[in-house]
Structure 1
Amino acid sequence: MSDATHTDERVREMSKLRKALIRPELGGIVGATAVFTFFLLFAGNSGMFNAQGVMNWTTVSAQFMIIAVGACLLMIAGEFDLSVGSMIGFAGMMIAVFGVTLGWPMWIAIIITFVICVGFGALNGYIVVRTGLPSFIVTLATLFILRGFTIFIPQTLERKTIIGGIREAAEGDFLAPLFGAKVGGPVFQWLGDIGVIDVFTRGNRAGEPVVDGIPMLIIWAIVLVVVGHILLNRTRFGNWIFAAGGDAQAARYAGVPVERVKILMFMFTAFCATIFAVCQVMEFGSAGADRGLLKEFEAIIAVVIGGALLTGGYGSVIGAALGALIFGVVQQGLFFANVESSLFRVFLGVILLLAVILNTYIRRLITGER
């Protein structure tokens, strides 16, 4: 009787361990812990973790995070979107064309750009669900189409592939600050006055804090992560997303509108890419045809690091956010640690391989495969 009791306890312990191992956030948590530990040891005294350093890598992480949220939900639904990077460049260029070249009010340029880009997302989804073609192929075609338009349109209208003047065109606009402003300025000024963060000591900005606010890019990233997490884990639609990516046919038998779910996820991915683009052009004050290059792969890698399975039906928005955080910390941390920045790409390849191996092991734990 005693042996049976001990066996049951071991089974329960293994069950708890198994539950912990199959959490999609596990890879992101382990990776983030390792990355922060590494840079605390090797770059802790370089300014990486002062106010300005934290703001630098947080801003970069937020860029990855915004597109990773859309990519995560789409991958859980069982699809990919390789046009994200080109969508970023295209959206930024459309804002420049509408707002600068054509002289439209910036709020109209932003809204029309969102409508066009989300429309492309809907078209991607519609083609995928109606033809049965792999989303990899469909969105690869869209990648080239959008990149071609991004180069052709400004060359035709302006005879160049970079259009500036966006910041000037956005002055006084009521919608532009939602993407290009900073929040919390008085708080950071107070922190500077009491000596919590550094302030400038020379020039016209003497007495001002080195960090004068939180960019809207970071606010958007936080909002999208929170909304995506709640949508995925607290709503019926979230269950539909998991079902559509796990077993689409069984989901249809259960009454899940699989086609509609997939199309909406393609639209949401395009929406996230457009948010990234608008924040980017407001920050730089210009749009370039080469913007967003390779961002689609970086988004997918962040999602995979965050624990999503490439086969769909499993993943976590929080995990994807952690994957994006790892990207931002490493990209900036290499500079602070005086490591050659080109090694960032090496890191991406290594971390992707390790994440896929871990996710494959997790999938076998879930399915019982050997």
Structure 2
Amino acid sequence: MTATSTPTAQPQTDERLATTSWLTRLLRRPELGALMGAVVIYVMFSAADTTGVFATITGTARWTDYASGVGIVAVPVALLMIAGEFDLSSGVMVGTSGLLCGVLTTEYGWAMWPAIAATFAFAAVIGLINGWLVMLTGLPSFIVTLAMFFSLRGINLGATKSITGTVRVAGLRDVPGYDSASKIFSSTFWHPYDYRIAVVWWIGITILATVVLSRTRFGNWIFAVGGDANAARNTGVPVRRTKITLFVMTQLAAALVGIISLTRLASMQAGQGVGQEFTYIIAAVVGGCLLTGGYGSPIGASIGAAIIGMAFIGITYAGWNSDWLYLFLGVILFAAVLVNTLIGKRAAGARK
């Protein structure tokens, strides 16, 4: 009589402990699509350049100058989007902060540094109001911040004109502390290429945000509230505090760009910054942030800002009509969302 062998049961492996290939891990990076797009855009404008400057160190100084103004705000906007919220008042805050600082110094005799401190405090209060209203009312953040956008825009025009008689402030070069402030916020380095110090601010904010998001408890909270706010709240995550903090950070970054613009030009127009909020969101989305929250990275947002900077300067160097810039940005936005979606599906399939 022949003995029958019983098949040995195979141990079940926890899928959370399963190893993944380097390609799968790479595909899961939210900034991959933006990085691919940046390479394509850089090569395209290098080939289309009619001046021979775009691909040089000087050309890089020009497009990073524009990109830094976008990236400084796009990074905290990306964090806010990861948390599932939007801020449509970030663009107008650029003009509001510059006007406030300019009025305090030129019309009321404040020195530059106290005016800058008051401007940042004002921006923090606006961010606090935005976050508090969103959490208190339960209204979509784009509605609350859109209302703030129109409110600040009206204040910029009405208050500035009633105080100065015009819709701009100027004449800051004689204000005490202006020279030291301009060195911190709007100076240049690496002569003769003259990179703007704003690029250093941009890189520093990107590094700080990346560390916060990937290495701290607060970063875990950001992902948690963006993924499922109710589940996060049930596990002890301070949802309200997390989101309000992010609104404050976004407004502070916008105020920083406003101060940079003010000290660079020694003047500020009432309409400055209006419309830039969409550019910040485009940079974040191009960088891999989902509109539904819970996914994205500061590095991706910075790469998105770099793409916008390359497009803005590259179109000029290529000799194209600059009126086509926004069409180009629209195409980039659509292509980036499409590529990120395809990459995300590929990564999801690789987990199985």
Q: Secondary structure at the match of 1:163?
A: strand
Is 1:82 aligned to 2:67, yes or no? no
Is 1:22 aligned to 2:28, yes or no? yes
Matches within 5 A, 1:60-209: 60-169=66-175, 174-184=180-190, 188=191, 209=192
Is 1:327 aligned to 2:333, yes or no? no
CA contact (8 A) 2:33 2:343 kept: no
Q: Secondary structure at the match of 2:334?
A: helix
Q: Single out whichever of 249-258 and 44-53 deviates more from structure 2.
A: 44-53
Q: Secondary structure at the match of 1:342?
A: helix
Determine what percentage of the aligned residue pairs are the same residue: 41
1:265 to 246, 266, 286: 246
Q: Tell me by how many angstroms 1:166 deviates.
A: 1.8
Residue identity opposite 1:20 in structure 2: L
Match of 1:295 in 2: 276
Q: Tell me by how many angstroms 1:173 deviates.
A: 5.4
1:250-298: CA deviation from partner (whole Å, max 9, x where unpaired) = 1111111011000000000001101100001111110111100211000
CA contact (8 A) 1:162 1:287 kept: yes
CA contact (8 A) 1:27 1:306 kept: yes
CA contact (8 A) 2:30 2:295 kept: yes
CA contact (8 A) 1:62 1:218 kept: yes
Match of 2:12 in 1: none
Structure 1 moving runs of 4+ over 6 Å: none
CA contact (8 A) 2:88 2:149 kept: yes
- In structure 2, relative to structure 1, the CA distance for the partners of 1:364 and 1:126 (3 Å cut) is farther
Match of 2:294 in 1: 313
CA contact (8 A) 2:157 2:270 kept: yes
1:161-193: CA deviation from partner (whole Å, max 9, x where unpaired) = 011112332556544432122345xxx3xxxxx
CA contact (8 A) 1:105 1:173 kept: no
Match of 2:285 in 1: 304
Distance in 2 between residues matched to 1:168 and 1:332, nearest whole Å: 32
CA contact (8 A) 2:171 2:266 kept: yes
Distance in 1 between residues matched to 2:284 and 2:248, nearest whole Å: 18
Residue identity opposite 1:155 in structure 2: K
CA contact (8 A) 2:99 2:269 kept: yes
Distance in 1 between residues matched to 2:20 and 2:189, nearest whole Å: 47
Distance in 2 between residues matched to 1:65 and 1:16, nearest whole Å: 29
Distance in 2 between residues matched to 1:225 and 1:324, nearest whole Å: 11
Q: Secondary structure at the match of 1:358?
A: helix
Q: Calculate the TM-score normalised by the size of structure 2.
A: 0.89
Residue identity opposite 2:149 in structure 1: L
- In structure 2, relative to structure 1, the CA distance for the partners of 1:51 and 1:366 (3 Å cut) is closer
Residue identity opposite 1:237 in structure 2: F
CA contact (8 A) 1:77 1:244 kept: yes
Structural RMSD (CA): 1.9
1:72-94: CA deviation from partner (whole Å, max 9, x where unpaired) = 11001110000011111111100
Distance in 2 between residues matched to 1:104 and 1:57, nearest whole Å: 34
Q: Secondary structure at the match of 1:48?
A: coil
Match of 1:339 in 2: 320
1:188-243: CA deviation from partner (whole Å, max 9, x where unpaired) = 3xxxxxxxxxxxxxxxxxxxx3x3x4322111111101101111111111111011
Is 1:214 aligned to 2:220, yes or no? no
CA contact (8 A) 2:112 2:178 kept: no
Match of 2:217 in 1: 236
Distance in 2 between residues matched to 1:290 and 1:29, nearest whole Å: 33
Any stretches of 5+ residues in structure 1 without a counterpart?
1-11, 189-208
1:50-69: CA deviation from partner (whole Å, max 9, x where unpaired) = 33322111100111111101
Distance in 2 between residues matched to 1:183 and 1:56, nearest whole Å: 13
- In structure 2, relative to structure 1, the CA distance for the partners of 1:245 and 1:170 (3 Å cut) is farther
Match of 1:200 in 2: none
Match of 1:8 in 2: none
Match of 2:7 in 1: none
Distance in 1 between residues matched to 2:345 and 2:323, nearest whole Å: 35
Distance in 2 between residues matched to 1:280 and 1:239, nearest whole Å: 33
Q: Calculate the TM-score normalised by the size of structure 1.
A: 0.85
Residue identity opposite 1:302 in structure 2: A
Q: Tell me by how many angstroms 1:37 deviates.
A: 1.0
Match of 1:225 in 2: 206
Match of 2:9 in 1: none
Q: Secondary structure at the match of 2:295?
A: coil
Distance in 2 between residues matched to 1:91 and 1:64, nearest whole Å: 16
- In structure 2, relative to structure 1, the CA distance for the partners of 1:181 and 1:307 (3 Å cut) is same
Distance in 2 between residues matched to 1:225 and 1:181, nearest whole Å: 20
